Structure 1
């Protein structure tokens, strides 16, 4: 398959950041945008309106929009915008509070949506990302002194906002203040805010926008897990040869296994210096989550003492931008929506380590599985933790045609007794119910096991399928030690015990897209293949 995304290497803005590159590889940005278009003609308010019953708005002789008022209100554009760059110059006096809304929506006397903050207070959060009328702060600037210093009180300030797909960026006076991903709203109106400070005048000028073409379609995704950094890694060349548009590293990306952060760092550096891995990063966008060994402890969970430092190291190695989900909360979980409307693929990266309660072992004389771990039905036992569950429930409401849920441990297999979701049956059932209630259309990818297999369950009452495609290992295969392992959901007679990687290929040409799940060997040949239509994944 020809990789049309390769033409985007080196574009100015990037959706996935690849360590060690002088240019960046993008999976969501489009081609060079057209010329700028003015949204304010400097003479009157043509193209703008006030949906509120209050507020004083004028145009000055200096070609400025002038806002005054005693209650919060917004001047709203007549047009809606989806993917765009927006530039605004504004002057807000000391003591004032304002904002630039984008991808926003409104009713009479109410508005909600994304806001680039304008804040003259001592906290210095101007340039942060706020969700007006919904979730409040998304990216505050309390831990970013460079961004906090960008805004100049009682002076003209230049704002630049770029929104492409789920990728949102903000600059104030040329200084980057926000670089994050959020997919709750994909289009909407632009608006200028007066926060209601009596007697204060807010001025805006040189308001201009340029719309950006929709992001390219995502057709081919590759993924894998379990790479020992000190061993040979010939599989990177094979994966690079697939010319996929995205590679997902879904856990055990290194074998760190240490509470010494310097040891973990050295092992990441060893992986980063591998020539095959460097080649893959230079040509293929990459997203990642972790499992136990790169987290830092075998089969570890919430009890790991240096998990916060380990998360920081993970984020730094994978160049996770400031303001992205993995930087904002405890755990490396995150989500990205790629592709245009009608062909959107949501990548949900779960963290099955940071909040996971300790595993429950079988009593020696009661062991019923090949592995040592028993189901834990305690209502307090969890894989994801309460915060990540709330986040995931929100993500499953985000508009997308297909969701790929990356879980470092197997989701469907339930009989082997090693690490798997069945160790926490309440969480497993909760995710099955969540996929069903959000319409299906979800594929789970997993790793960890040093084998490869494709599992499938049919949800009878809503007549749709869920697949769990397991790819492991990139260079540490079981070699056959798990042959004959029970798995009633497996779609083949046995698992594949040798070096492998996985792929998901989506053919969008038909009204009902065709999807292929494959496990590939070291030479790139498919050893397992499942083919179906998107309708097979869709809850009825």
Structure 2
């Protein structure tokens, strides 16, 4: 059921205002409250993570129950919210059951920080259940001002039939690695009522791109990139971030027959305009090795490769176009290993488009959710192009049949569904060419 946008926002504002007002201490001590969140992070068959930011440091716990009134709840205690993380943190719940709806409330210093009706989430079915259906939303490019993505998130909040949300970078525009600037930008972006309403119950995962890592077109030479990484880790409830000996934000996770490989295209990146040598890299040697190992080991029928930068062959310098040697090595590895069911998604560009990269891999670039739209040049690989307005995308993946099917839905904010396109298994695997858009006819010379 899709509730009207105004009703979603109104319900949330009533809840938020009431919640902030109701939890004072009997002793007269100032109440602690949630400045941001709760934001649901990674959810698996047996675990769930929730991110919050409090008004000040506090102990953190969650009450979780299969009943909407929390009458049979259990309390799980997490690590305290500390000054060094600006009272932000993640609490993780275990021992959950597959395919089960859970309701929850947040406790700060033992006092409830939420007000009924309590938010809820649903764990996915067991991997062996064979349900074969997944719907996920993906967005990028929030815009420079906190209000810019508000309408987009309010629209997303009305769509309750999504399993998860992926944020593909430029999730804020701090344009700095300074931690204070990063925190301020996250505060602005996440204060949108639509974002708060949507992400209380839909798992959300994030990677970064240049503007939420550092300045425009930032790379691994960025001064203070460790501070940018620290700020990122403060604000997400992803299932992982890099590796012990290789810092970064990359991670992977599975939902049924679909596996997501979420890449870090900034922390180890060579400058875009550096000479083309075997050492030039977007991912760094270890992340690329991890990526190949993970793809080889994957049993998923659909593998989603998630990048902040566009994969297409005719992109800007701040894309995989400047790292074609590394990208082509990866594509050749996929072909050599016979890995099928690979699809590509990306952000960064302030338009939404679809490509069949090298006539082989379907890529969808989603954006902007809030930033200003920009013109998109029709390229030989492009077969969908939307560059007037603000957009987000939903993929509907059905793996229940002998051949998985993929359906792309593109939504324009204020208009609704503008593209509905299904893909066959042969198109997904690159055995069938997708006709590209016609090149624009040059204007006649005067």
The TM-score, its normalising length taken from structure 2, stands at 0.66
In structure 2, what is the Cα distance between the partners aligned to 1:384 and 1:263? 25
Question: What's the counterpart of residue 153 of structure 2?
Answer: 236
What pairs up with 1:481-500 in 2 under 5 angstroms? 481-483=374-376, 485-492=377-384, 494-500=385-391
* 1:394/1:11 CA distance change after superposition, 3 Å: closer
Q: In the alignment, which of 159, 168, 185 is matched to residue 267 of structure 1?
A: 185
* 1:259/1:318 CA distance change after superposition, 3 Å: closer
State how many pairs are aligned.
Answer: 327
Q: Is 2:165 the counterpart of 1:224?
A: no
- Listed as ranges, the gaps of 5+ residues in structure 1 are 3-8, 32-160, 166-211, 362-375, 460-464
* Conserved 8 A contact 2:351-2:386: yes
Structure exhibiting the larger radius of gyration computed from Cα positions: 1
Question: What's the counterpart of residue 433 of structure 1?
Answer: 332
Question: What's the counterpart of residue 442 of structure 2?
Answer: none
Higher helix share: 2
* 1:424/1:25 CA distance change after superposition, 3 Å: farther
Summarize deviations over 1:139-160 as a string: whole Å, max 9, x none: xxxxxxxxxxxxxxxxxxxxxx
Deviation at 1:497, TM superposition (A): 3.1
What pairs up with 1:175-194 in 2 under 5 angstroms? none
Deviation at 1:164, TM superposition (A): 8.8
> What SS is found at the alignment partner of 1:292?
coil
Q: Is 2:356 the counterpart of 1:456?
A: yes
The TM-score, its normalising length taken from structure 1, stands at 0.55
Deviation at 1:320, TM superposition (A): 3.9
> What SS is found at the alignment partner of 2:253?
strand
* Conserved 8 A contact 2:398-2:406: yes
In structure 2, what is the Cα distance between the partners aligned to 1:213 and 1:338? 9
> What SS is found at the alignment partner of 2:348?
coil
Q: Is 2:397 the counterpart of 1:506?
A: yes
Deviation at 1:270, TM superposition (A): 1.7
Q: Is 2:209 the counterpart of 1:291?
A: yes
Deviation at 1:217, TM superposition (A): 5.0
Question: What's the counterpart of residue 536 of structure 1?
Answer: 427
* Conserved 8 A contact 2:311-2:357: no
Deviation at 1:425, TM superposition (A): 1.5
In structure 1, what is the Cα distance between the partners aligned to 2:344 and 2:266? 17
Question: What's the counterpart of residue 360 of structure 1?
Answer: 273
* Conserved 8 A contact 2:146-2:192: no
Q: Is 2:392 the counterpart of 1:392?
A: no
Q: Is 2:322 the counterpart of 1:423?
A: yes
* Conserved 8 A contact 2:405-2:424: yes
* Conserved 8 A contact 2:155-2:194: no
* Conserved 8 A contact 2:154-2:193: no
* Conserved 8 A contact 2:315-2:321: no
* 1:533/1:300 CA distance change after superposition, 3 Å: same
Deviation at 1:24, TM superposition (A): 8.3
Q: In the alignment, which of 348, 352, 361 is matched to residue 466 of structure 1?
A: 361
Q: CA RMSD in A?
A: 3.4
Summarize deviations over 1:368-425 as a string: whole Å, max 9, x none: xxxxxxxx5222111001010011011102211101111101101x334342111111
* 1:219/1:259 CA distance change after superposition, 3 Å: closer
